[in-house]
Structure formats: C-alpha cells, structure tokens
C-alpha cells in the first residue's frame, strides 16, 4: 500500500509540473517550443499521407489550392529548424554555466543527463513500434542508439526520430568541442568559423546532389518521389548539413551571456531594430513560401539557392529574434507577452512526447477516423481541402495530448527527477 501511495505521489508531482512553470525557465522559449511542435504536426498531417476526402487527389490538389493557408501548413518542417535553434541555445547555456561555475565540463555527467532526458520516452515508443511489428521493426536499434538518420528512408521504422539522432550527435560533438576549448579566448570566433563551414558544407553537398544524381529539384515538392527520398537521405537527415541551426542558437546564447550590456545597446539602436524587423520579415517569408505550385514552377536556380541557404537563413533570423526576446526589448514586447503566456507552457512540456507519438497517432488513429468522417460530415465541395486538415489536426491534437500527458507523467518527468537525484552532486 505504501508503494502504491509513493507511486501515486510521483505521478501527481509529475502532472503538477505540467501546469506550474519554474521561476528559472525562459518563459518565452517555452512559447516558441509550443508553437514549433504545433507547426510540425500541421506539416506531418499532410506529408505523412493525405487521407479522408482528399485521399485520391494527393498533394498536387493541395498545391493547386494552396495560398497562405497551405503554404504555412506545408512549411511546418521548419518547426524542426526551430527546435534545433532552441536546442543549441539551451544546451549551450547549460554548458557555459557549468564551465563558468567549475572551470571545466564533466562529459560523463553531461551525457548521462542527455540520455536520461531523451532515451526513456524514445525507448517506450521504440518498443511499441517493435511489438506492433511496424515496417522495418527489426531496425529499431538504430533509433534507440540515435543512428537511424544514416539508414535509407525505406529502411526506417519511426523515421521522424531522425531529428533526435541529429540532436544527440550534435550534443556529443559540441560537448567535446567545448571541453577542449573551454579556456580559449577565441570561442566566439570558433563558433562563427563553424557556422561558415556549415553553410559551405551544405552548399557543397547540395551541389553534389544536384549534379551527380541529376535530380530534378522540382520533384522535391512531391514527398513520395524518388528525388525527394534521395534528398531526405543525403541532405535533410544528415548532421553535417543541419548542425548550423544548433550553432545559431549557441551563438545567440554566447552573446546573451557574455556580451549582455553591449547587446542591450545594439538591440535598442536603430541598427538593432532594423535587424529585428528584417529577421521577422525573413521568418514570415519562409513560413509562407511555396515553391511547389505546379502552375508556378520556379527555375532550378531558385530551387538550388532555396535548398542551399534558406534553411540556415531562417535559423539565423530566428536566433536573432530569440536573442531580442531574451533581452526583453520593447521592440518585441507584444510577441514576448504572447509567447510567455502560461497557456503555452503545458504544450511546451509535452512537446517531446508529442513529437515522438504524433506520427503514430496520425497513422493508426487519425487517418482511419477522418476517412470515415469525411464521407458523412461534408459533401463534395471546394471547402474540403480546408476542412479536412483542420479536422485532422483537431483529432490528432486531442488524442496526441492525452497520450503525451500519459507519457510525460509516467516516463519523462520521473526519469528527469531520477536524473537530478543521481547527479545532484554534479549540478
């Protein structure tokens, strides 16, 4: 009986932590995390398989009926770039804080903390996928060891966890980098140099991809084309083409921690305000761009530039906005207030479990449910291409939040607490 009471107390504490934000949290970053996961889910609702009323029309029907509504939904994959910038910012803050406090970085403690944060929930989803005998279930160990982004797309089990693999690979490499350069006076220059290299590497790989595979870049707009699969495997999934997003977050946190006063003066100057407004324009332009409308096909040169640079341009603009939000500048006061709202905090806390589970929910629950609803609720009409995603999103979020809450209360938070107990002397 006492054991049951203790377990119940742990779960109650975990649930309570969903609702009450700690005083040391960056509230505005919680809001960004919440908005990012919602954006990713919007994209996956479409790219993981149109269903219901639109099943026979496919993506081309969506592109032809796009406009701002679909452009934003289709670009939800940039939510992953948001996560990468956020991860770089937050993980570098942890590392910088430890180095400032102790003069060194305990790599063992750092890696154990990362494993206990990410792996428990991932293993639960991996085991569910394995015992459900999902396609390629025999490759599930690649997911558990954060290596599935090096598997061909056709051999992946829960392919959306590629981003967790990239994230963990960055954590390993960046922690080692900081361990050896912790006493260097040129860390800022090193970060900038790594960013320049990141841009050049992505340019070189996209150029190789374009020339050597003779891919029609326009085909990347079709998630099911061979060209798109090649692009995903060779460019989209790989750490060496994505690590720049993390570094923009690292750069923002370095400036915030070590050049705070100078940064404040720059942010409040006309140059800083201009940079912020330009960054917002870039973010909105990328979020609402759509280069894959069949009737408005852009040139290969435009698409080449897009795939080389726009992702990192988006990350750079986002890191700039994050930095200004952290500085609590009057320039973005309204945005800061909105993103810091307490209503977004529970979604931010559930973001990891939501990310892990929502594709499975879309495939196993949402698509069958919406397919049945589509023949009953609305007739053949031009509004269906708008109604279907909204219904699909509602069903996915309703089921997803329930599942994610269970995952957070039973798995995520207890292991985070265990991590803090085991490594309390390493804080």
pLDDT tens digits, one per residue of 304-347: 888 889 999 999 999 999 999 998 888 888 998 999 888 999 99
Asked whether residue 174 is assigned to any structural domain, the reply reads: yes
Backbone angles phi, psi at 138, to 5 degrees: -70, -10
Q: What is the mean pLDDT of residues 10-17?
A: 68
Asked whether residue 4 is assigned to any structural domain, the reply reads: no
Helical axes 270-287 vs 260-268, angle rounded to 10°: 80
Give the number of domains in the chain: 1
What is residue 184's predicted lDDT score, i.e. its pLDDT?
83
Q: Predicted confidence band at 51 (pLDDT cuts at 50, 70, 90)?
A: very low
Q: Percentage helix, strand, coil, to 5, in the chain? A: 85, 0, 15
What is residue 318's predicted lDDT score, i.e. its pLDDT?
96
Asked whether residue 18 is assigned to any structural domain, the reply reads: no
Query: What's the domain range around 344?
Result: 25-426
What is residue 53's predicted lDDT score, i.e. its pLDDT?
41
Q: What is the mean pLDDT of residues 3-11?
A: 60
Q: How far does Cα 392 stand from its chain's mean position?
A: 21
Q: How many residues does the chain have?
A: 427
Q: What is the pLDDT of residues 15-41, one digit of tens each?
A: 777 777 777 778 899 999 999 999 999
What is residue 420's predicted lDDT score, i.e. its pLDDT?
80
Q: How far apart are CA 266 and CA 282, in angstroms?
A: 20
Q: Predicted confidence band at 10 (pLDDT cuts at 50, 70, 90)?
A: low
Q: What is the mean pLDDT of residues 102-122?
A: 93
Asked whether residue 405 is assigned to any structural domain, the reply reads: yes
Q: Which helix (H) or strand (E) holds 242?
A: none
Structure tokens at 225: 């084309």
Q: What is the mean pLDDT of residues 365-377?
A: 74
Q: Predicted confidence band at 59 (pLDDT cuts at 50, 70, 90)?
A: low
Asked whether residue 17 is assigned to any structural domain, the reply reads: no
Asked whether residue 9 is assigned to any structural domain, the reply reads: no
Q: What is the pLDDT of residues 157-205, one digit of tens each?
A: 998 999 999 999 999 999 999 999 888 888 999 999 999 999 999 999 8
Q: Predicted confidence band at 220 (pLDDT cuts at 50, 70, 90)?
A: low
pLDDT cut 70: percent of the chain above it: 81
More confident residue, 55 or 289: 289
Q: What is the mean pLDDT of residues 239-246?
A: 95
Q: Predicted confidence band at 384 (pLDDT cuts at 50, 70, 90)?
A: low
Structure tokens at 265: 């003066």
Average model confidence (pLDDT) for the chain? 84
pLDDT above 90 (res 47)? no
Q: What is the pLDDT of residues 245-278, one digit of tens each?
A: 999 999 999 999 999 888 889 888 889 899 999 9
What is residue 62's predicted lDDT score, i.e. its pLDDT?
60
Output the CA–CA distances (angstroms, integers) from residue 205 to 158, 210, 211, 222, 246, in the order listed: 25, 8, 10, 21, 19
Q: What is the pLDDT of residues 61-104, one digit of tens each?
A: 665 655 667 778 878 889 999 999 999 999 999 999 999 999 99
Do the beta carbons of residue 293 and residue 66 sit within 8 Å? Answer: yes
Q: Predicted confidence band at 221 (pLDDT cuts at 50, 70, 90)?
A: very low
Asked whether residue 235 is assigned to any structural domain, the reply reads: yes
Asked whether residue 13 is assigned to any structural domain, the reply reads: no
């Amino acid at each position: 009986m006492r054991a049951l009471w203790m377990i119940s107390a742990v779960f109650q504490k975990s649930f309570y932590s969903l609702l009450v934000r700690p005083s040391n949290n960056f509230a505005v970053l919680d809001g960004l995390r919440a908005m990012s996961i919602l954006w990713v889910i919007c994209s996956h609702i479409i790219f993981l398989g149109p269903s219901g009323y639109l099943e026979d029309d496919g993506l081309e029907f969506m592109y032809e009926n796009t406009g701002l509504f679909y452009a934003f939904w289709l670009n939800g994959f940039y939510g992953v770039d948001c996560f990468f910038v956020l991860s770089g910012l937050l993980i570098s803050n942890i590392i910088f804080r430890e180095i400032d406090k102790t003069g060194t970085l305990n790599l063992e403690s750092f890696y154990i903390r990362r494993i206990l944060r990410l792996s428990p929930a991932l293993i639960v989803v991996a085991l569910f996928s394995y015992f459900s005998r999902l396609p390629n279930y025999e490759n599930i160990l690649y997911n558990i060891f954060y290596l599935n982004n090096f598997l061909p797309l056709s051999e992946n089990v829960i392919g959306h966890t590629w981003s967790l693999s990239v994230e963990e690979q960055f954590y390993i490499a960046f922690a080692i980098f900081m361990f050896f350069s912790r006493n260097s006076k040129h860390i800022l220059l090193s970060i900038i140099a790594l960013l320049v290299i990141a841009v050049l590497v992505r340019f070189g790989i996209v150029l190789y991809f374009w020339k050597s595979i003779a891919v029609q870049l326009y085909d990347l707009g079709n998630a099911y084309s061979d060209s798109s699969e090649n692009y995903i495997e060779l460019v989209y999934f790989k750490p060496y083409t994505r690590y720049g997003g993390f570094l923009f977050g690292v750069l923002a946190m370095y400036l915030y921690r070590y050049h705070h006063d100078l940064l404040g003066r720059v942010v409040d100057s006309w140059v800083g305000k201009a940079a912020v407004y330009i960054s917002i324009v870039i973010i909105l332009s990328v979020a609402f761009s759509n280069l894959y409308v069949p009737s408005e096909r852009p040139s290969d040169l435009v698409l080449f530039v897009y795939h080389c640079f726009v992702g990192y341009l988006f990350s750079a603009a986002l890191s700039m906005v994050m930095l200004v939000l952290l500085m609590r500048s009057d320039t973005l006061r309204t945005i800061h207030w909105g993103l810091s709202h307490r209503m977004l905090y529970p979604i931010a806390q559930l973001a990891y479990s939501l990310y892990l589970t929502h594709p499975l929910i879309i495939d196993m629950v949402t698509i069958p449910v919406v397919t049945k609803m589509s023949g009953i609720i609305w007739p053949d009409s031009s509004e269906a291409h708008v109604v279907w995603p909204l219904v699909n999103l509602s069903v996915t979020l309703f089921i997803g939040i329930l599942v994610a809450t269970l995952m957070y209360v039973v798995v995520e938070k207890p292991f985070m607490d265990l991590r803090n107990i085991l490594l309390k002397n390493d804080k």
